[in-house]
Structure 1
Amino acid sequence: MTETNERSVTVAGVDCGTNSIRLKISRVDEHGYTDVLPRVLRVVRLGQDVDKTHRFADEALERAYAAAREFAGLLEEHHVDGLRFVATSATRDAANREAFEDGIESILGVRPEVIPGTEEARLSFLGATSVLGPEQDGTMPAPPYLVVDLGGGSTELVLGGDGVDAPADEVTHAFSMNIGSVRMTERHLLSDPPTQEQIEEAVADIDAHIEEAFRTVPAERTGTIIGVSGTVTTMTALSMGLSEYNHAAVDGRRVSIDEITDVDTRFLLMSRADRRAYKTIHPGRIDVVGGGALVWSRVLAKVAERANAARGAGTITSYVASEHGLLDGIVLDYGRRLLAA
């Protein structure tokens, strides 16, 4: 029997976003990572009203602390070499973020890292591309990859290399937009269901952010769009007609832009009561999934328009949904750094 001295570390990562908080424990080695405890997700709506008040609400903080206490219990069951807690859009915007950081540190023993949008983009790209594999016809998705991480408070556009002048898994351009499912719902889509005027105002807001992002990210170079986050995977599952959410079925699914736009529009115009009939939608996303769907539709339309104008009609007609993104990037990046140290 051949002995191996391959080194590995077991790390935990927490991704605390505007709408949800997620924990993952993985073993990382030179080949990648293997889950020890698959993703645990809790919808806490930490970003409740942050766009308006620029502060965390007391009840939102308590929801986040309750999830952190649950995570602490899970971490006691698994030996880990380190824990990295990453906080994103809502925490960047909150004036009382120090109170949140103090509370989390008292529960989990680590202080949250409030990362900038560019670092969030890099980690999302790392997570999404690290597990990218052949599609049903046996071919790999065409680079350059544009990873779209659509969160509750922000949306990151991250473009990688073409595989020739720059490695396909290397980030070349990135931009973080202050638009997301929670932010658009609280800012514009106030009626249930939203009015046409509210939708038009939201579209104008979203499109302005996308055009600003395109000044940094050359979206016309896109070979494959990879969509990550709860909004993208939820809308993908709905387009598939799943009666219940199925991670394995959604991961890697290719969906046409025309098809998902129709689904996005249907659920945007739907009342919250009607959305509750769909078990595919997590209960914590019922009220904001329409806002996320609208952001997703506009990003897809704008990227396709730009790529098809520059490289010919039919260049971009679909996207690939991924269950892997920021949280995967957190554990993989952190594990690699511990191994290197």
Structure 2
Amino acid sequence: MKVAALDLGSNSFLCLIVEGDKSGIKKVLSDQVKVVRLGQGVDKTGSFHPDALKRAKECLTEFKKEIDRHNVDRILAMATSAARDAKNGSELFKIGEDIGIPIEIIPGSDEARITFAGSTEGNLKGDENVIVIDVGGGSTEFIVGNRSKLHFAKSLDVGCVRMTEKFITAQPLSESEKQAVENSVDIALDSILSEVQKYPATDVLAVAGTPSAIAAAEIGKFDAEKVHGFILDQGKLQKWCDILASTSVQEKIEKYKIESGRADVLFVGATILHRFLLKMNKPAMKVSIKGVRYGVALEVLRR
């Protein structure tokens, strides 16, 4: 069976087309990502901005062309944080309906399971615990589990778009704004630390655009094979937090080859990852280019 699985996040939209069956994914046919910034202003206004909905429509129209090209059997798009928070969320569902892409909100009870399954696809060995961190635009998910069980899952309202809009007025950052981001992240992390530490984990797996963008900047370009499995240690993350805080958005794009839709929010994402390693006293985390879209694909294949 061919399925198209879409992850409609607060910052990025992703579209994965795979072949597979109930036992899992056999072959990846297409994997696309586009920064849409759906969560623009949602934290302040409670609604999707008209420009964000326009970008969403353009992106989904492009994705539908790719889906049609592959003659898929089933399509499912899943939306998370921003769509839950927005008063005019129905407008997004209407766009999907008009284009022919059914959109579902991931129920809170399923979100962790789908995220964990997608993020760890092909990464789990034995029954060792793994911590998954998924930095989104509106929120960040923290999940601890193994092949047979999820021990802990929590979504914190520290997303890279939400926090950038809340605390950052100019880049390079002022020391006070940098400090405000760090303090806010620390307070959020402190609320889950004791729970996460109850379940000793062998690996920390960082998924989504933030760790991939930092790994790509470290390598010098995005190369999926090199980015997947890339090790980000405390030193590398500290270095990138410093670089991202002390450069303009244009410098980030031109000098460090960070894509324009991510350059302005990457400092917050890097800070979340770095502060987590510090607080957990973990030396490093591993980057995974997989994530929710893989979990959605597995979900469709098993339905």
Question: Contact 1:174–1:216 (CA<8 Å) still a contact in 2?
Answer: no
Task: Find the residue that maps to 2:196 and give its secondary structure.
Answer: coil
Question: Contact 1:11–1:331 (CA<8 Å) still a contact in 2?
Answer: yes
Question: Contact 1:189–1:291 (CA<8 Å) still a contact in 2?
Answer: no
The Cα RMSD (Å) is 2.0
Counterpart for residue 104 of structure 2: 113
175, 183, 199: which one pairs with 1:204? Answer: 183
Pairing 1:184–2:163 present: yes
Q: Taking structure 2 as the reference length, what is the TM-score of the superposition?
A: 0.93
Map residues 3-152 of structure 1 onto 2, 5 A cutoff: 9-110=1-102, 112-132=103-123, 143-152=128-137
Counterpart for residue 307 of structure 1: none
Q: CA deviation at 1:117?
A: 4.7
Same amino acid, percent of matched pairs: 31
Pairing 1:213–2:179 present: no
Q: CA deviation at 1:174?
A: 0.4
Task: Find the residue that maps to 1:174 and give its secondary structure.
Answer: strand
Pairing 1:251–2:228 present: yes
Q: CA deviation at 1:230?
A: 0.5
140, 157, 160: which one pairs with 2:145? Answer: 160
In 1, the alpha carbon distance for the partners of 2:289 and 2:127 equals 19
Counterpart for residue 263 of structure 2: 286
Pairing 1:336–2:302 present: yes
In 2, the alpha carbon distance for the partners of 1:302 and 1:77 equals 47
Unaligned runs of 5+ in 2: none
The one-letter code sitting in structure 2 at the alignment partner of 1:115 is I
Larger-Rg structure: 1
Q: CA deviation at 1:269?
A: 2.4
Question: Contact 2:277–2:283 (CA<8 Å) still a contact in 1?
Answer: no
In 2, the alpha carbon distance for the partners of 1:141 and 1:209 equals 31
Unaligned runs of 5+ in 1: 1-8, 134-139, 162-167, 305-315
